[in-house]
C-alpha cells in the first residue's frame, strides 16, 4: 500500500522568479557573504508564505478586503510610534531582531483592497473615480511621511495604470496633473532636501559628480565597465571597492551588469519579460472581476519597479529608492512579492492554469 501527497506548483510563475533569485543571490555573494546568507533565509521564509497564500481561496481573500484595508492603516500608524529610524527615515519595526518594512509588505494588501473595490463597482463615473483616490489617500500619505516617496509613487502609479485600463478616461487624471502643476511650489517645499537633490541631479547628472550626482555616475560607470561578457563577479571593482553605493539594494543591477555584462543583462531582461508575460496571462484568462483586477495590479507592481530601478541605474530615471524585485537585498520586499505570487497562483489554480507536481 502506498500513500501519495500532491503539491501544486505554478511553474509558469516560479521558474523565472527562481532564475531572478539565483542571479540576485550570486550578485549578493560577490558583494558580501552576509548579504547572501540573510537573503537566502528570507527567500525560504517567503517561499513558505507563497505556499500558504497559494492554498487560500481568492474568494476568502476578497471577503476580508475591508479588514485588510483597516489593518494596513493601523500598521502604518504604528510605525510612527515604535518604528526604528535608519538614515533619517522611520519605515521599519524591529520584530525579534528582524526589521520589517510595512510599506513594502503592504503591496499585496493594497492590491487586494483596490481590486475588491473595483470588482464591486457597477458603473465607471467621476464620483467613483474620486472615491477611489480618497480611499487610497490615507495609505499614500502615511507612506509618504515615513518618508518613503518611492513606494508612495509606486502605489500611485499602480493605481493610475489600473484605473486607466479599467476604463477611466485619461482626461480625469489630467485634473490631478494640473493640480500638481499649480501647487508644485508647495509640493517642492514639502520634499526633503535629498529628494530635491535627486530631481535636480536627474536633469543635471554631471553638475556635482562628487556630491549629489555621485551615485548615478558610479552606477553608469559600473554598467558600462561590464562590456559584453562582464568582468566576472570576482572582479566587480566598482562594488567590491565600494565606489558604488547601496550596491546590494538600489544599485544591484549595476553590480550585476558589471559582473555579467551585456549578455547577462539580456538574460535578465528576458527572464523579467517571461515573468511579466505569465502574470499578464492570469489577467487575460481570468473571468472573475476581482481576480482580473488583482492580476492587473500585480502586473504593474512588478513592471514599475523593474523599469524604474533599471532606469535609475543607467541614468534615464531619477533615483527613487525603488529596489529590483527578487534581486535586491531585503526580506520585506521578498515577502510581499511572494505573497503576490501566491495569490496569483491561487487564481491560476481556480482557472486551471497551475501545473501539479506529485510527490509519492
- Considering only 100-114, 156-170, 211-225, which range has the smallest mean pLDDT? 211-225
Alpha-carbon distance of 129 to 30, in angstroms, equals 48
Instruction: Name the pairing type of β-strands 89-95 and 84-86.
Output: antiparallel
* CB proximity list for 230: less than 8 A, separation 6 or greater: 257, 258, 259, 260, 261, 262, 263, 264
Alpha-carbon distance of 326 to 28, in angstroms, equals 12
341 phi and psi angles, rounded to 5 deg? -60, -40
| Residue 57: strand pairing partners | none
Letter string b/e over residues 19-53, b meaning 16 or more CB atoms within 10 A of that residue's CB = bbbebbbbbbebbeeebbebbeebbeebbebbeeb
- Considering only 102-111, 296-305, 350-359, which range has the smallest mean pLDDT? 350-359
CA angle 275, 276, 277 (to 5 degrees): 90
Sheet holding 98-101, edge to edge: 84-86, 89-95, 98-101
Residue 328 contacts residue 24 (beta carbons within 8 Å): yes
- Long-range CB contact pairs, 176-181, < 8 A, 24+: 176/133
- Quick one: pLDDT band at residue 354, thresholds 50, 70, 90? low
Model confidence pLDDT, tens digit, residues 232-270: 887 777 777 778 888 889 999 999 999 999 999 999 999
Q: SS3 helix, strand, coil % of the chain, rounded to 5?
A: 70, 5, 25
Q: Is the confidence at residue 272, as pLDDT, over 90?
A: yes
Report the range out of 49-53, 57-61, 91-95 with the highest average pLDDT.
Answer: 49-53
pLDDT attached to residue 321: 81
Residue 239 contacts residue 258 (beta carbons within 8 Å): yes
DSSP annotation of 328? S
- Considering only 181-190, 323-332, 343-352, which range has the smallest mean pLDDT? 181-190
Tell me what the mean pLDDT of segment 74-96 comes to: 84
Letter string b/e over residues 327-337, b meaning 16 or more CB atoms within 10 A of that residue's CB = bbbbbbbbbbb
Amino acid at each position: 500500500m502506498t500513500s501519495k501527497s500532491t503539491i501544486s506548483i505554478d511553474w509558469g510563475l516560479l521558474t523565472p522568479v527562481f532564475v531572478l533569485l539565483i542571479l540576485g543571490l550570486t550578485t549578493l555573494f560577490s558583494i558580501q557573504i552576509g548579504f547572501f546568507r540573510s537573503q537566502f533565509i528570507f527567500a525560504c521564509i517567503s517561499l513558505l508564505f507563497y505556499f500558504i497564500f497559494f492554498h487560500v481561496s481568492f474568494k476568502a481573500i476578497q471577503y476580508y478586503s475591508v479588514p485588510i484595508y483597516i489593518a494596513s492603516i493601523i500598521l502604518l500608524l504604528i510605525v510612527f510610534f515604535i518604528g526604528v529610524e535608519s538614515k533619517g527615515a522611520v519605515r521599519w519595526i524591529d520584530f525579534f531582531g528582524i526589521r520589517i518594512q510595512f510599506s513594502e509588505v503592504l503591496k499585496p494588501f493594497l492590491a487586494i483592497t483596490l481590486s475588491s473595490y473595483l470588482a464591486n463597482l457597477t458603473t465607471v463615473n467621476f464620483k467613483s473615480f474620486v472615491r477611489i483616490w480618497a480611499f487610497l489617500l490615507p495609505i499614500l500619505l502615511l507612506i509618504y511621511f515615513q518618508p518613503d516617496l518611492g513606494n508612495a509613487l509606486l502605489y500611485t502609479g499602480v493605481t493610475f495604470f489600473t484605473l486607466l485600463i479599467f476604463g477611466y478616461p485619461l482626461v480625469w487624471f489630467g485634473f490631478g496633473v494640473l493640480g500638481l502643476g499649480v501647487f508644485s511650489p508647495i509640493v517642492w517645499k514639502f520634499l526633503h532636501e535629498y529628494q530635491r537633490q535627486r530631481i535636480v541631479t536627474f536633469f543635471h547628472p554631471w553638475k556635482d559628480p562628487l556630491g549629489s550626482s555621485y551615485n548615478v555616475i558610479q552606477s553608469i560607470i559600473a554598467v558600462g565597465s561590464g562590456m559584453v561578457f562582464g568582468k566576472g563577479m570576482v572582479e566587480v571593482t566598482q562594488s567590491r571597492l565600494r565606489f558604488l553605493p547601496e550596491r546590494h539594494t538600489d544599485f544591484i543591477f549595476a553590480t550585476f551588469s558589471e559582473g555579467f555584462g551585456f549578455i547577462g543583462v539580456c538574460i535578465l531582461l528576458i527572464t523579467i519579460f517571461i515573468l511579466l508575460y505569465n502574470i499578464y496571462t492570469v489577467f487575460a484568462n481570468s473571468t472573475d472581476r476581482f481576480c482580473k483586477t488583482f492580476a492587473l495590479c500585480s502586473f504593474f507592481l512588478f513592471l514599475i519597479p523593474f523599469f524604474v530601478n533599471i532606469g535609475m541605474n543607467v541614468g534615464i530615471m531619477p533615483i527613487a529608492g525603488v529596489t529590483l524585485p527578487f534581486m535586491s537585498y531585503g526580506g520585506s520586499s521578498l515577502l510581499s512579492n511572494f505573497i503576490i505570487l501566491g495569490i496569483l497562483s491561487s487564481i491560476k489554480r481556480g482557472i486551471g492554469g497551475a501545473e501539479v507536481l506529485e510527490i509519492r
